[in-house]
Amino acid sequence: MSKKWQISRRRMLKGVGACMALPFLDAMALPGMSSPVPSKSPLRTAFIVMPNGVHPHHWTPATVGRGYEFTQQLLPLKHLQDDFLVLGELMNMNSLRTADGHYTKTANLLTSTRIRQTTGDNINSGGVSIDQVIANHVGGDTLFPSLEYGLDRIATGVDINVGLTRLYASSISWKTATQPLTKEIDPKMAFDRLFGRYVPGAKIKNDPWKQSVLDAVLDDAKSLKRNLGRSDQDKLTEYLDSVYSLEKRISDGANQEKFAANLTGDVKKELIRLNQNIEEYAEVRSGVDVTEKTRMMLDIMALAFWSDASRVSTFLFGNSVSNRNFSFLPGVNDGHHSISHHMDDEKKLAQYVKITQWHMEQYAYFIEKLKSMKEGESNVFDNSMIMFSSDLRDGNRHSPRNLPVLLAGRAGGRIKPGQNLIYEKETPLANLYVTMLEALNIEKTSFADSTGKLANILA
């Protein structure tokens, strides 16, 4: 390989007001390497969180190990059985509070520490979240140390039922014990931030709804492509096509938002009636339903991982006490939080299962997206760990015991997926975090209330 064909792993496409990270190319290989594949692919970590718990009797498979039978709520993942772990009897001990059902379990899900009880803005999670521990070790190698995404805007005010500020409802990622990281909930804003088109406080000369980020970096892309081999040219074209496709989907939603802004008052009243709440109305107004919006956000996360713009991300499906209306699902006719307080009513429990299945479908979508992104002889998914969890086991009982936890990915061969593993009752959830840190080669033997690593996960 001549020096002319070598480019830096940190090479980006640049243009006026824009820059784009690149996926790994053969031309990034070091001289003398017998294979263009890097000796160590970057490892990515994502934490995907769902509020309100699950149906407690249709989550955990009956048999331990491999080849287990799928429960109702896990069925959307059946075709991916060899790609993830089901982890039973993990508990977030420091989330136990007699005065609160949700907030003290959401805010500290990734810190495993006890939060401060307050009705003001002097919030304190008790510690740094595990995603930020990871970001502090690997974030210096990427454009963004971490990315925080979700669907709901920040909750404000005080929940008088439990005497806590609703600020705790909105954050799972904590840079410090007193500094939560605000999640981005708008796909357009998330996309622009990721690819350098959005700068807070600065005016963009070109209309971002009309101009593609690819237009800004086109000259640089053409120049780079001329100096690449055929294989790299194909990879670059495929990557740019993926970016353009996602841009188009987001722009289409923006155009529908402009159209919807001119709807008559009667039509708006009907929209409000059908969607029950402001959040759902906002999604209809933007022309994007909740499933499509979720998948756009997950696509952006996947592109961030593939381009190595970031290696750490969180995604919060809904704030604490989220009552997102899931009546778009057949057989469901109420909000998530309301249904989670099922009082063992069979009709509500059946709806509870359907809502969880929808979340599993989105988790499966993200896994499949990462698997489709080639990286050398492997793919991004094989070099990732994607945790899924809820902050509760059962929304009706508000219990943080035996949390519903999944871990997908192979972390570059360091994780052994495809198993249902049951640990001793009340095993600290933080033990999983310590295990993940070891898989990432981060030398940290303890985290929060951890007592050791989880067995049978590391290869």
Check residue 17 and give its pLDDT: 64
Q: What is the pLDDT of residues 53-105, one digit of tens each?
A: 999 999 999 999 999 999 999 999 999 999 999 999 999 988 876 556 788 88
pLDDT tens readout for residues 381-398: 999 999 999 999 998 888
Query: What does the pLDDT average to over 32-40?
Result: 45
User: What is the chain's mean pLDDT, rounded?
Assistant: 82
Residue 38 has pLDDT above 70, yes or no: no
Please compute the mean of the pLDDT values over residues 415-425 and round it to a whole number: 97
- Give the pLDDT mean for 299-321: 89
Confidence of residue 322 (pLDDT cuts 50, 70, 90): confident
Average pLDDT over residues 319-345: 91
Per-residue pLDDT tens for 119-152? 888 899 999 999 999 999 998 878 788 999 999 9
Please compute the mean of the pLDDT values over residues 2-12 and round it to a whole number. 63
More confident residue, 47 or 95: 47
Q: What percentage of residues in the chain have a pLDDT greater than 90?
A: 46
Mean pLDDT value across residues 165-186: 90
Q: What is the 3-state secondary structure (H, E, C) of the chain?
A: CCHHHCCCCCCEEEECCEEEECCCCHHHCCCCCCCCCCCCCCCEEEEEEECCECCCCCCCCCCCECCCCCCHHHHHHHHHHHHEEEEEEEECHHHCCCCCCCHHHHCCCCCCCCCCCCCCCCCCCCCCCHHHHHHHHHHHHCCCCCEEEECCCCCCCEECCCCEEHHHHCCCCEEECCEECCCECCHHHHHHHHCCCCCCCCCCCCCCCCCCHHHHHHHHHHHHHHCCCHHHHHHHHHHHHHHHHHHHHHHHHHHHHHHHCCCCHHHHHHHHHHHCCHHHHHHHHCCCCHHHHHHHHHHHHHHHHHHCCCCEEEEECCCCCCCCECCCCCCCCCEHHHHHCCCCCHHHHHHHHHHHHHHHHHHHHHHHHHHCCEECCEECHHHEEEEEEECCCECCCCCCCCCCEEEECCHHHCECCCCEEEEEEEEECHHHHHHHHHHCCCCCCCCCCCCCCCCCCEC
